[in-house]
Amino acid sequence: MDRVDSGLPPIPAKRYFTIGEVSELCLVKPYVLRYWEQEFVQLKPMKRRGNRRYYQHHEVLLIRRIRELLYDQGFTISGARNQLAEHGGRHQGVAVDLDEDLDDGDLQDVAVPGLVAATASAEMRVAARALQSASHAAATAEAMLTGPQLDLSRLDAEALVSLREELLEIRDLLA
């Protein structure tokens, strides 16, 4: 999807992009990006304080695809919408929202051509973090269990809450 011959600059390895950055990366004015949000249901940047938009990598790829359909291939808005819907199902991937403050790391389905490769690395990073966290919790629990006796009274409330969360993550990973 990220073609060198398209004349578009390479997408930096960042988690989030402002509307100004996306405008430069996709060679599209910010007001056009805001308009496209209304026309393409797949394009939903996160909004934070003051309604500031933050786009993720898969959304930048989607914008580049929309730009290609409209500007290079001559599709109308509805034609581009149909094209994305038609070809999106074939290349459907799962995008991971890494901002846990907004939606607790839930997975969101996104129909975007060419998303599978970008998504796989994001999924692997999330899975690796969860596995590392679970491994740490398991090691802590094992150390506590292999001691003379499991004494939870030595732990403060915050440590107990943390241990409970880690154990729930391990349970979810094993399920």
Q: What is the DSSP string of 97-132?
A: ---HHHHTT-EEEE--TT-HHHHHHHHHHHHHHHHH
132 assigned to some structural domain: yes
Residues 25 and 110 in one domain: yes
Residues 56 and 137 in one domain: no
Determine the pLDDT at residue 152: 62
40: helix, strand or coil: coil
Q: Which of 114, 139, 165 is the last residue in one of the domains?
A: 114
Tell me the Cα Rg of the chain.
21
Determine the pLDDT at residue 173: 73
The answer to whether 60 and 36 have CB atoms below 8 angstroms apart is: no
Structural domain boundaries enclosing 130: 126-174
6 assigned to some structural domain: no
CB atoms within 10 A of CB 42: 20
The answer to whether 134 and 143 have CB atoms below 8 angstroms apart is: no
Residues 71 and 23 in one domain: yes
Write down the residue that tokens 């991971």 correspond to. Answer: 96
Q: Render each residue's pLDDT in the chain as its tens digit; 175 residues.
A: 444 446 899 999 989 999 999 999 999 999 999 999 999 999 999 998 888 999 999 999 999 999 999 999 999 999 999 999 888 644 433 333 333 333 433 333 333 434 444 445 555 566 666 666 666 666 655 555 555 555 566 667 777 777 777 778 777 777 6
Residues 94 and 51 in one domain: yes
Interatomic CA distance for residues 150 and 168, integer angstroms? 18
Interatomic CA distance for residues 135 and 138, integer angstroms? 5
The structural domain count of the chain equals 2
Q: Which of 93, 114, 135 is the last residue in one of the domains?
A: 114
9 assigned to some structural domain: no
Residues 103 and 143 in one domain: no
Q: Which of 114, 135, 157 is the last residue in one of the domains?
A: 114
Interatomic CA distance for residues 93 and 49, integer angstroms? 29
Q: Which residues contact 23 (CB under 8 A, 6 or more apart)?
A: 29, 30, 33
Residues 93 and 168 in one domain: no
Residues 27 and 83 in one domain: yes
Determine the pLDDT at residue 108: 37
